[in-house]
Amino acid sequence: MKLDRLVRLMSIAEKIRREPGIVYDDLAKELEVSQRTIRRDINILEQAGLPVQNYQGLRFMSDVELPRVQFDPNEVTFLLLMTNFLSHYGIDSNIPESLLKKLRKHLPEKMIDKYQTLQRSVLIHPHDNEQDGREIVKRLKEIIELKNRVQIYYQSNSSKNESWRLVDPYGVFFKKRSWYMVGYCYKNGSIRMFKCSRVKEIKSLQDKYEIPKEFDLEDFLSDSFELMKGEPTKIKIRFKKEVASIIEETVFYKGEKKTKYNEDIIYELTVANWREVYSWVLSFGRKAEILEPKWMREQIISELKDMEILYSSIN
């Protein structure tokens, strides 16, 4: 359920409890939505076990004591800053302002003032290269809620070819400055990742689908060093003392193992695609050495020879 709707449901329930006899029109005006939306929300309240009768206005059929949700200042600040952050990355940009307006009715003014002061000190700059993918993310959020199968016109990163794909979207996530969709691709017959900025067009179909109960987005991504999937590969790397503190202080992968070796760090991990780790190690230059597997060491040697030829040919 969307955060905005959850806050609105809490407001409606509290209003009916405090002001029995309130009418749809008053609720709609106060919450700045249509009467039709209020009716849908009241249906949700009834399904949740809060029966509402419409007799001389709206009122609960029996005494209802709503559980009080107590927020401390840090929790409120975190909630509002997170919605503000997400609004820059494909989430409805009106949500932070809308949420703040509704929370004002339930929280002390000092708490709201603290958030607004902090907000002016925390700047979030979205990456320009993801502008194209944001509209796709918004569409996908709605589609995943409805469980509608989609057709996407997608540009493959490897072949650069564009083609239509039939996909059951399972989820979206943000990583490495980009939004991605995970879903079952009927063209490949498997679960795949799609970069949202490479989705040129998206069509929501009437066909419904179900996300398999055994699928978990976090588990699906957990064996990837960054994004790519493949066969598991065990890798051992020695990082020289110049970069040892960086490796020691930072968690790069949840299954990693770090061992001190004199002033160096021995770094071990098993990942689903070795190429991502390969590129990462190369970025450290002479300060990182792949110890295992042997074939990856040989790959590095070949790469360095090619680089030597490239740079020695420059006048």
pLDDT in tens, 89-114: 555 555 556 666 666 665 666 666 66
Q: What is the mean pLDDT of residues 163-174?
A: 87
pLDDT at 224 > cutoff 90: no
Predicted local confidence at residue 238, as pLDDT: 93
What's phi and psi for 195, nearest 5 deg? -75, 125
Residues in the chain, total: 315
Of 26-40, 121-135, 164-178, minimum mean pLDDT range: 121-135
Predicted local confidence at residue 239, as pLDDT: 92
Q: Where are the alpha helices (DSSP H) in the chain?
A: 3-18, 24-31, 35-47, 73-87, 95-103, 109-119, 131-146, 217-222, 241-249, 274-282, 294-312
| DSSP state letter for 301 | H
Predicted local confidence at residue 188, as pLDDT: 85
Domains of the chain, start order: 3-60 (1.10.10.10), 73-119 (no CATH), 129-222 (2.30.30), 233-312 (3.30.70)
Predicted local confidence at residue 306, as pLDDT: 87
Looking up tokens 């200042």, which residue turns up?
Answer: 73
pLDDT at 278 > cutoff 90: no
Predicted local confidence at residue 162, as pLDDT: 85
For 22, the token pair is 């309130």
| 1 band by pLDDT with thresholds 50, 70 and 90 | very low
Percentage of residues of the chain with pLDDT beyond 70: 70
Cα separation, 170 vs 182, whole angstroms: 6
Q: What is the mean pLDDT of residues 226-252?
A: 79
Predicted local confidence at residue 225, as pLDDT: 47
Of 59-63, 282-286, 297-301, 306-310, minimum mean pLDDT range: 59-63
CA proximity to 196, closest of 133, 128, 132: 133
pLDDT at 64 > cutoff 80: no
More confident residue, 162 or 114: 162
pLDDT at 184 > cutoff 80: yes
pLDDT at 241 > cutoff 70: yes
CA proximity to 237, closest of 221, 219, 223, 225: 225
Residue type, 64: V
Predicted local confidence at residue 219, as pLDDT: 73
pLDDT at 309 > cutoff 80: yes
Q: What is the mean pLDDT of the chain?
A: 77
Cα separation, 15 vs 7, whole angstroms: 12
